[in-house]
Amino acid sequence: MKKNVLVIGAGGVAQVTAHKCAQNNDVLGDIHIASRTVSKCRDIIASIHEKKSMKVDGVLEAHALDALDVEATKALIARTGAQIVINLGSAFVNMSVLQACIETGAAYIDTAIHEDPLKICENPPWYGNYEWKRREACAAAGVTAILGAGFDPGVVNAYAALLVRDWMDETDSLDIIDVNAGSHGKWFATNFDPEINFREFTGQVWSWQNRQWTSNQMFEIRKEWDLPVVGASTTYMTGHDEIHSLSKNLDVPNIRFWMGFGDHYINVFTVLKNLGLLSEQPVRTAEGVEVAPLKVVKAVLPDPSSLAKDYTGKTCIGVLAKGRKDGKDAEALIYQISDHKEAFEEVGSQGISYTAGVPAAAAALLIATGEWDAKTMVNVEELPAEPFINLLNRIGLPSRVKDAAGDRDLAF
Amino acid sequence: MKKNVLVIGAGGVAQVTAHKCAQNNDVLGDIHIASRTVSKCRDIIASIHEKKSMKVDGVLEAHALDALDVEATKALIARTGAQIVINLGSAFVNMSVLQACIETGAAYIDTAIHEDPLKICENPPWYGNYEWKRREACAAAGVTAILGAGFDPGVVNAYAALLVRDWMDETDSLDIIDVNAGSHGKWFATNFDPEINFREFTGQVWSWQNRQWTSNQMFEIRKEWDLPVVGASTTYMTGHDEIHSLSKNLDVPNIRFWMGFGDHYINVFTVLKNLGLLSEQPVRTAEGVEVAPLKVVKAVLPDPSSLAKDYTGKTCIGVLAKGRKDGKDAEALIYQISDHKEAFEEVGSQGISYTAGVPAAAAALLIATGEWDAKTMVNVEELPAEPFINLLNRIGLPSRVKDAAGDRDLAF
């Protein structure tokens, strides 16, 4: 049994996680929020009080922290007595925060792979580049480190494990499908930091096909789906963290990730990319100003956090498995529908932040109760899926399944 | 009879004009080229020597000049003995160069209206905003000032005057049509300074309809034409200098300007404009760099001068008149076809610079011979068209006419 949570980061996802931790602080104990910009932590705390998210009276504090500084992070863990650290900072701080956890014994949770700021969109094996190199150190220290515990990666890893175990005897393919059918009402905006958003789509994309890494260009492979609730959806094959861990942990020859994009997004992206405006390499204007074009694009685009209040519509994220069961072809989709407006009303963030932030709080709760306190480094598909799915059903992300037997709630 | 020419400016158009002056230096005398960046003048001089453009041995010199500095410009006019100044510098220097001419007695030629750098796309009356306020000063000093002596404005003004005088008894409409059917081979590029290019299309566009100024949004009014040589062409109604002077000097109720744009250009323009990337107002990046997005767009786009060597295809610029002649409906198009590759081979510039630069040299020649030495400020439609058309036929821009009698060369 572990308690007291330190949330690192103060963006839209951190806001959701902090609200969910507060709503369950009878189990989790003290809640601390740390970021380089302490005012953003205070804003989240104000939002938690405004929405009356604290289940019981308790500690809720803001801290200034440079999470690249391992010693400072260790000191904050010690000072707060946090036994669970939820790292929702930029992708660049994963390894320093993990190191602080290994040295203090605190459990570690994150939602996305580590990135080196100097290397854009590294090639697989993604977890092998940084995270898994620390697995033995975690095991030796008895430290629980849960990697990729957002929605995708995260919940979809649990869906994939369930589908392979219970719905199939032999699984041919897993297709992870992420569609945002919502509308922010702006002519164009990215749903999260444009710099990170565009970086994801600038290079090659990787998929696991015929048990091999396969490379394509972004927006090269398009696929239409007919999904529950959101209906007909256009997606493109994209590289994504969980393809790597699932390809190692599940015996499935084809694992692909599909992200929904409208024609308008792709057109704007294509124009910006082809003109060189998504480059991180500085250019020099005729007046002698040196600036990376991508930074200027970021400066003119709407601040993603400003979108939440007007966001309407729904998201659908799921995993479609195809294979054979009892000697027959079989197909099953486990999925989750979230609503942008409901998310904003509950926790002040839009649906995309909501789907990423709730599972991280769920992972913290399962560590607190001991069900996921693995004492080593794991990806979500290696942990028991049932308590996770049941907990998510209760705290805001109900799952459903659609198979030959129909379309119904998923619970255990 | 005037002689010795000072070309101010050293861009693509100036390069063409300088070559054409050199090809006719037996009439024009000494040729001087001045620009803030003297190395660009020297490059033009090297190009003139490389192409053996000097008709007879003579003076060909480069000078550094800030053309906003009236005293410095006067001093250079005096030092060079130039009696004809061809102003092809930025649109911001027109009034200072004109002032230097008025004070020294040199003849003045330009190819585009004056612009205040702080006022983007001013409303009509364009020539009335700056140029025509100096008309009396020119007349008093006996100074010849020919406004807008490129192709459009310039040659099209002569076409318009001829059509109204010789092809119509009553003219209902003049449509000036400018189509570049060439290809530069880049994914996207502007044919001249992106800053100037995009500024032209950012605001309202003005046309003269039913004897009134009429305002529309850029890209609001589209029209397809079937033009000689270049064929089917998509154009959009645009504001343009010559609409103003023609509406004053010719008795025609409808005068419109149509610029050819492909869907690709419009898409890129629309994305950049809607994102705010064409703004001249500085934005501040997250890192604290202050920069106008338009300057960054300019920095990432190909340098227009780099396009010339690979440019292929043709331009078509003409004026279509509709009205009545001898009691019957009548229609006539006077037009000119230029070829990008031929222009580059002759003078090292692409066809758009060629069509703008040759007429300015022709105007200088007609001042030198006395035919256009008006001793006051005039627009091209106020001058005799025949020697201009005949001279252009000889020096690289042959005109044609298409009317009920057929499609044939135009000469007098």
Statement: residue B27 has pLDDT above 90: yes
Residues B282, B294: one domain?
Answer: yes
Residues A95, A232: one domain?
Answer: no
Interchain CB contact of A74 with B (< 8 Å): no
Q: Minimal Cα distance from A274: which residue of B?
A: B187
pLDDT score, position B407:
98
Q: What's the CATH number where A256 sits? A: 3.30.360.10
Who contacts B382 (Cβ-Cβ below 8 Å, separation ≥6)? B249, B374
Domain of A85, in residue numbers: 5-150+350-395
Interchain CB contact of B300 with A (< 8 Å): yes
- Rounded CA separation B95/B147 (Å): 12
**Interface probe with A: pick from B268, B285, B290, most Cβ of A within 10 Å:** B285
Structure letter (DSSP) for residue B166: I
pLDDT tens across A342-392, in order?
999 999 999 999 999 999 999 999 999 999 999 999 999 999 999 999 999
Statement: residue A198 has pLDDT above 90: no
Residue A293 with chain B: CB contacts under 8 Å: 296, 299-300
Interchain CB contact of B298 with A (< 8 Å): yes
Q: Which helix (H) or strand (E) holds B162?
A: helix B155-162
A129 vs chain B: nearest CA distance in angstroms?
29
pLDDT score, position B337:
98
Q: Which helix (H) or strand (E) holds A354?
A: helix A351-368
Residue A296 has its nearest CB partner, among B268, B274, B285, at B285
Among residues 19-58 of chain A, which lie with CB inside 8 Å of chain B?
none
Please, what is the average pLDDT of chain A?
A: 95
Residues A296, B279: C-beta atoms closer than 8 Å: no
Q: Domain tally for chain B? A: 2
Read off φ and ψ for residue A308, nearest 5 degrees. -55, -40
Residue B224 DSSP SS3? strand
pLDDT tens across B334-377, in order?
999 999 999 999 999 999 999 999 999 999 999 999 999 999 99
Residues B48, B180: one domain?
Answer: no
Kindly list the strands in the beta sheet with A107-110, ordered across the sheet, starting from the edge strand earlier in the chain: A60-64, A31-35, A5-8, A84-87, A107-110, A145-147, A377-379
Residue A286 has its nearest CB partner, among B187, B274, B298, at B298
Residue B293 with chain A: CB contacts under 8 Å: 296, 299-300
Tokens of A279: 């480059």
pTM: 0.79
- Cα–Cα distance list, B382 to A16, A25, A83, A305 (Å): 72, 86, 88, 60
Residues A271, B276: C-beta atoms closer than 8 Å: no
Residues B368, B255: one domain?
Answer: no
Q: What's the CATH number where B52 sits? A: 3.40.50.720
State yes or no: cis peptide before B153, omega within 30 of 0.
yes
Statement: residue A120 has pLDDT above 70: no
Residues A301, A209: one domain?
Answer: yes
**Interface probe with B: pick from A264, A266, A285, most Cβ of B within 10 Å:** A285
Half-sphere exposure of B239 (CA within 13 A, CB side): 27
Between helices A340-347 and A12-23, what is the axis angle to 10°?
60
Residues B137, B184: one domain?
Answer: no
pLDDT tens across B52-93, in order?
999 999 999 999 999 999 999 999 999 999 999 999 998 899
- Rounded CA separation B316/B319 (Å): 10
- Rounded CA separation A405/B12 (Å): 72
Residues B144, B162: one domain?
Answer: no
pLDDT score, position A121:
63
Residues A167, A33: one domain?
Answer: no
Whether residue B258 contacts residue B178, with contact meaning beta carbons closer than 8 Å, is answered with yes
pLDDT tens across B176-211, in order?
999 999 999 999 999 878 887 787 776 788 999 999
- Rounded CA separation B56/B76 (Å): 24
Residues A64, A15: one domain?
Answer: yes
Residues A134, A253: one domain?
Answer: no
- Rounded CA separation B181/B276 (Å): 29
- Rounded CA separation A219/B266 (Å): 22
Residue A291 with chain B: CB contacts under 8 Å: 285, 289, 291, 296
- Rounded CA separation B280/A289 (Å): 14
pLDDT tens across B113-156, in order?
998 877 766 778 889 999 999 999 999 999 999 999 999 999 99
Confidence of residue B304 (pLDDT cuts 50, 70, 90): confident
Please, what is the average pLDDT of chain B?
A: 95
- Rounded CA separation A94/A88 (Å): 9
Statement: residue A119 has pLDDT above 90: no
pLDDT score, position A197:
79
A295 vs chain B: nearest CA distance in angstroms?
6
Whether residue A230 contacts residue A335, with contact meaning beta carbons closer than 8 Å, is answered with no
Residues B364, B331: one domain?
Answer: no
Residues B185, B261: one domain?
Answer: yes
Q: Minimal Cα distance from B264: which residue of A?
A: A271
Name the nearest CA neighbour of A204 among A216, A193, A213, A195: A216
How many other C-beta atoms are found inside a 10 Å radius of the C-beta of residue A196?
Answer: 15
pLDDT score, position B121:
63
pLDDT score, position A303:
87
